[in-house]
Amino acid sequence: MIRFDSVTKTYSGQAKPALNDIGVEILRGEFVFLVGASGSGKSSFLRLILKEEKPSKGTIHVLGQNLGQISSRKVPYFRRDLGVVFQDFRLLNDKSVYENVAFTLRVIGKSRGYIHSAVPETLKLVGLDGKGKRMPHELSGGEQQRVAIARAIVNKPQILLADEPTGNLDPVTSAGIMTLLERINAGGTTVVMATHEAGIVDEMRKRVIELSAGDIVRDERAAGYGTVTGTLPEDEDAVAAAEAEAAAGAEPTEGGGHVQSDATGATAAATATAAAASAGKPKREPKAKQKARRGEGEAITAAAPKVTPEMMQHSQPLYVEPEASDEVTDAAAEITAAATASIEVQSGTDGDDAGGDADDDATATAAETPKGAAADAKAHLTLAERLGLRAPGGPREGDDDQEVGPTR
């Protein structure tokens, strides 16, 4: 699903590469933590997946496509299968929660009817049912991040990239956000998250890729934040099964729509399949891996963790069983809602957005914005460009939406 082959990224004017001869594969359904000290290359790794940056050397495949062969014009189309969440939320502060989430769908030309059903459904999924009319400043940090997550997933991306999504949140709220990301992953979305939060990584026991000065110094399944423990015994069966499958000629799927319901199984199997698949490749062992094997990997020392394993264990339910269908149960939504603290907002006119008012909200397109529309539109387009929904310099307000419409 995501594959880096001998990828080096050196920014102009920099002597040392931000990423140095990276080779790694992430498969469908995995939840991967990217860890490492500040400046180790985590954000660069994510930006390369998004095609926000180009590698100086090597090739990157995402969703079966060689990023080097995607023209600038096609990049926004490619990015529709990727959702992105940032540390600083990046919401449109002059737009309601509903509008922030609807924005993504409007830009890619979804119909009003689709938006009208998809936005409330997604807000419910992230535990913000009934808060569509709120403005971002009327929400707690955790709620704002959930709006950002709703915006990232409303188009049902296959991959969700998160760059320190809990970096601005208190520990309890962070745990709630992780509950949500785990649920999204359980629904089949591949999640790659850069983080400094040792407590979260230690508790969740997902695959951990550790970077140090641009090298991958550790790539472990079911791992913690800062230890090199090797393959866990309970994963050996999965590895053996995947090896047998690989020997039988099975290939990891690309681009298809199969969603595995057992997230843990999906992750273990996917990682094991990756291990088995790469075992069959004539690939030299990366330098960083050699270092890690020799125990030369650098310890992560930067950024003191603020979420403890105890917080993760005691304060929040970590996982809500997803429904077989896309429907979100009230119980699941309530658990998610309870997982992040909210603030009381005094608002005489507040109310649910799922009814006719929401439709009014939904019709408040950029074209209807009052004074300062040009500046407002610029803000929209900047965000659209930043979210990868429009090519920089691409279609502008008033253009036919179909020009940036769905690709399938």
Ligand X SMILES: Nc1ncnc2c1ncn2[C@@H]1O[C@H](COP(=O)(O)OP(=O)(O)OP(=O)(O)O)[C@@H](O)[C@H]1O
156 or 291: CB nearest ligand X: 291
Q: Does 14 bind ligand X (CB under 6 A)?
A: yes
Q: How far is the CB of 35 from ligand X (least distance, A)?
A: 9
Q: How far is the CB of 43 from ligand X (least distance, A)?
A: 3
Q: How far is the CB of 291 from ligand X (least distance, A)?
A: 17
Size of the site for ligand X (CB under 6 A): 11
Q: Does 60 bind ligand X (CB under 6 A)?
A: no
Q: How far apart are CA 141 and CA 148, in angstroms?
A: 11
Q: Does 309 bind ligand X (CB under 6 A)?
A: no
11 or 114: CB nearest ligand X: 11
Question: Could you give the string, one character per residue 29-58, with x where binding to ligand X holds by CB under 6 A and - elsewhere?
Answer: -------x-xxxxxxx--------------
Q: Does 301 bind ligand X (CB under 6 A)?
A: no
Q: Does 195 bind ligand X (CB under 6 A)?
A: no
39 or 309: CB nearest ligand X: 39
244 or 302: CB nearest ligand X: 302
Q: Does 11 bind ligand X (CB under 6 A)?
A: yes
Q: Does 297 bind ligand X (CB under 6 A)?
A: no
Considering only residues 1, 2, 7, 18, which one is a binding residue for ligand X as defined by CB under 6 A?
18
Span near ligand X by CB under 6 A; candidates 11-19, 63-71, 267-275, 310-318:
11-19
Binding site for ligand X (CB under 6 A): 11, 14, 18, 36, 38-44
